[in-house]
Amino acid sequence: MISNQSEIHHIAIGTFGLGAERKEEWTEKSTSDSGTNNDELNALMTAFTAGQNYIETSFIYAGGETMKFLATFFQQIPREEIFITTKLEKFIEREEDIEIQLDKYLDLMWLTYVDALILHAPSISKLPLLETYQAMRSMVEKGKARHLSASNLSLEQVKNLTENGIKLFSIETLYNLECKIHEDTGFLKYCKDHNIMVVCYQPLRRNRTAKRNYPLLVELAEKYNKTQNQILIHRITKHKKLHALIKASTPEHVKENIASLDVEIDEQDLKRLDDFRSIEFDAIADQIDREDTGKSFPIYKYANQFD
């Protein structure tokens, strides 16, 4: 059973939309049309076999189809060798709603417990954040979740939980080459100092960062004989020592992503990546609704404000 963050592979398995029959019906738009269920299952097996042992799930991915699909995958691997997280979604109005939701997701995935239970975003609970997490603790006490984790919290919200005795195993949030808000606010440092594993979603910004062909990325990809996406993943995992949560539907993409760990990049080139700033994304960073109150776009929509 995986109990320590150091046992977790630096590339986490994203599952957005996997197993969907008709992708046009997804809750959110995806940029990918590739992959069949077989490819996707192969991609998951390729990732797991290569050591990727952290997987995220959510009911809202393909309206529950992804969870059903993942049940097939989970049946094929030893349960204790993978760290499975799942998210609480909308409509938490009473403490009891937490267990009702979790039971439903466990059933769909043929699981008896998850390794970490996550509130998808602050706005999905009508209860105050701290109260929600205090109530989520009962799922750990009942053995239905081993840890509590979080997603899309602001630095102040993480502090509120931490200072009130909620131990977070990890937090899923947005971080990539263009969206560096969490570096600027000290969020990443706080998590590191408090041993909260940061799992960065949209590390490739759904392949849109590479499509921009920024001269720096094009140059480094050529210099190190890697793809632009590999440079992006290497930066997050090996250089920043964070976890990259990537959705890949094909074994080829999985292999390419894992091969990003095999390159050594010079210090001065890593510094150039650190110094890279996106004028567009920086210009709207102060408009992010960091507490997810509904006033503006939240952190989980920041990366989608531009192509």
Ligand X SMILES: NC(=O)c1ccc[n+]([C@@H]2O[C@H](COP(=O)([O-])OP(=O)(O)OC[C@H]3O[C@@H](n4cnc5c(N)ncnc54)[C@H](OP(=O)(O)O)[C@@H]3O)[C@@H](O)[C@H]2O)c1
Q: Which one-letter DSSP state was computed for residue 261? A: G
Strand partners for 174: 201
248 near ligand X (CB under 6 A) = yes
Q: Collect all residues with Cβ–Cβ distance below 8 Å to 215 and sequence separation of at least 6.
A: none
Q: How far is the CB of 298 from ligand X (least distance, A)?
A: 9
Can you tell me which of 95, 99, 256, 291 binds ligand X, judged by CB under 6 A? 256
Q: How far is the CB of 3 from ligand X (least distance, A)?
A: 23
Q: How far is the CB of 121 from ligand X (least distance, A)?
A: 6
Q: Are 97 and 91 in contact (CB under 8 A)?
A: yes
Q: How far is the CB of 233 from ligand X (least distance, A)?
A: 8
Label the pairing between strands 243-247 and 11-14: parallel
Q: How far is the CB of 213 from ligand X (least distance, A)?
A: 13
48 in helix, strand or coil? helix
Residue nearest to ligand X (CB): 14
Q: Taking the CA of residue 133 as centre, how many other CA atoms within 13 Å lie in the half-sphere pointing to its CB?
A: 27
226 near ligand X (CB under 6 A) = no
Can you tell me which of 44, 204, 221, 288 binds ligand X, judged by CB under 6 A? 204
Other CB atoms within 10 Å distance of the CB of residue 25: 10
Stretch that binds ligand X, among 14-22, 74-82, 157-165, 189-197 (CB under 6 A): 14-22
Strand partners for 147: 116
Can you tell me which of 102, 246, 258, 265 binds ligand X, judged by CB under 6 A? 246
Closer residue to ligand X (CB): 63 or 165: 63
Q: How far is the CB of 143 from ligand X (least distance, A)?
A: 24
210 token code pair = 């590479």
Counts for the chain of helices (H) and strands (E), in that order? 14, 8
253 near ligand X (CB under 6 A) = yes
Q: Taking the CA of residue 37 as centre, how many other CA atoms within 13 Å lie in the half-sphere pointing to its CB?
A: 14
Q: What are phi and psi of 201, to 5 degrees?
A: -90, 165
240 near ligand X (CB under 6 A) = no
Q: Angle, nearest 10°, between helix axes 251-258 and 37-49?
A: 30
Can you tell me which of 46, 86, 125, 152 binds ligand X, judged by CB under 6 A? 152
300 near ligand X (CB under 6 A) = yes
Q: Which one-letter DSSP state was computed for residue 92? A: B
Closer residue to ligand X (CB): 98 or 248: 248
List the x/- string, 30-49, binding to ligand X by CB under 6 A: -xx-xx--------------
Stretch that binds ligand X, among 45-53, 69-77, 155-163, 245-253 (CB under 6 A): 245-253
245 in helix, strand or coil? strand
Label the pairing between strands 197-201 and 145-151: unpaired
Can you tell me which of 53, 229, 237, 278 binds ligand X, judged by CB under 6 A? 229
Binding residues vs ligand X (CB under 6 A) = 14-16, 31-32, 34-35, 120, 151-152, 172, 201-207, 229, 245-250, 253, 256-257, 300
